[in-house]
């Protein structure tokens, strides 16, 4: 079942709601530069295991509206709050991948974990996506600036190049084309402005505010958000567990989809 939730004037967020009769709800927040369809292989199986799966397209991506502004973590976290309240969700698992993980962390700090019982961080772009003088991990600022420039110059090629480092297993040509298409659907402006947020935002002060059980699921071969980021989050989040995916890159939800679905279901209970 698909519908829209209004988060501010002129901005409607697309919501895919699968198995809404279940009381065990997982709200999925996708990563840059895709949309909720990246979780297709979770939506195929988890509802059959008794879970309500809600996927959203963050503003600027998928079927959601494409405002010119509003791509800071604060605004994107506020959108999540409005969706949770509008749908009347309670005691949910918030599951965020990559930038969606970063938005989820900001939500937990900014909104005091409102109605979230458990948190799943999936290859999350945190504590910081880019290197700092006191943080020698992740992408360099120059690398992200190049992605921004490439977005404005030749976005299809940028997406294709990014897709080449996303997964750590053999993929069919058809799957690569499908996944590439998820990024092409997005607004070019949103694609670039979310890269600015990824480059500039710092979540180190947000992590101690997370007070719920947290599963940190991270690929050991991740070339986008290296595994050390998962280790650092584990050190900073109380009551967290780190679940390594030995054979996965950034796309662990597909590289090891059976293990991913089992681990997520085991964590939620």
The domain locations on the chain are: 2-268
pLDDT digits (tens, 9 = 90+) for 172-222: 999 999 999 999 999 999 999 999 999 999 999 999 999 999 999 999 999
DSSP helix/strand/coil, 146: helix
Point out the residues that are catalytic. Answer: 98, 222, 250
Q: What is the pLDDT of residues 217-239, one digit of tens each?
A: 999 999 999 999 999 999 999 99
Query: Is the pLDDT assigned to residue 74 strictly greater than 90?
Result: yes
Residue pair 95/263 in contact by the 8 Å Cβ criterion: no
Task: Count other C-beta atoms under 10 Å from residue 114's C-beta.
Answer: 15
pTM of structure: 0.97
Topology of 2-268 in CATH?
Answer: Rossmann fold (3.40.50)
Three-state SS at 170: coil
Give the phi and the psi of residue 254 in degrees, each rounded to 5. Answer: -115, -40
Average pLDDT of the chain, as a whole number: 97
Q: Name the band, by pLDDT with cuts 50, 70 and 90, for residue 150.
A: very high
Q: What band does 3 get if pLDDT is binned at 50, 70 and 90?
A: very high
Indicate whether 93 pLDDT > 90. Answer: yes
Q: What is the mean pLDDT of residues 66-84?
A: 98
What is the predicted pLDDT for the residue at 169? 82
Query: At 144, which helix (H) or strand (E)?
Result: helix 141-164
Indicate the DSSP class of residue 30: P
| Residue 170 pLDDT greater than 90, yes or no | no
Beta bridge partners of 8: 11
Q: For 47-59, what is the mean pLDDT?
A: 98
What secondary structure letter does DSSP report for 122?
A: E
Of 29-43, 78-92, 166-180, 250-264, the one with minimum mean pLDDT is 166-180
- In the chain, DSSP finds a helix count (H) and a strand count (E) of 9, 8
> Among residues 71, 221, 223, which one has the least CA distance to residue 143?
223
């Amino acid at each position: 079942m698909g519908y829209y939730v209004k988060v501010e004037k002129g901005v409607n967020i697309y919501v895919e709601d699968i198995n809404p009769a279940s009381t065990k709800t997982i709200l999925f927040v996708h990563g840059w530069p895709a949309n909720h369809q990246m979780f297709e292989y979770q939506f195929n199986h988890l509802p059959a295991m008794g879970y309500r799966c809600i996927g959203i397209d963050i503003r600027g991506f998928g079927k959601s509206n494409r405002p010119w502004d509003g791509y800071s973590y604060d605004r994107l976290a506020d959108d999540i709050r409005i969706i949770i309240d509008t749908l009347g969700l309670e005691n949910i698992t918030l599951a965020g991948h990559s930038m969606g993980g970063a938005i989820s962390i900001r939500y937990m700090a900014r909104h005091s974990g409102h109605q979230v019982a458990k948190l799943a961080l999936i290859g999350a772009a945190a504590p910081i996506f880019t290197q700092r003088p006191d943080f020698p991990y992740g992408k360099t600022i120059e690398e992200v600036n190049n992605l921004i420039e490439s977005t404005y110059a030749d976005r299809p090629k940028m997406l294709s190049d990014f897709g080449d480092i996303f997964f750590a297993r053999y993929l069919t040509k058809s799957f690569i084309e499908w996944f590439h298409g998820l990024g092409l659907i997005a607004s070019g402006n949103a694609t670039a402005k979310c890269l600015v947020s990824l480059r500039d935002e710092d979540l180190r002060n947000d992590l101690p505010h997370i007070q719920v059980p947290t599963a940190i699921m991270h690929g050991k071969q991740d070339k986008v958000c290296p595994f050390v980021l998962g280790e650092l989050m584990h050190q900073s989040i109380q009551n967290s567990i780190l679940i390594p995916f030995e054979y996965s890159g950034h796309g662990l939800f597909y590289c090891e989809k059976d293990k991913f679905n089992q681990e997520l279901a085991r964590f939620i209970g």
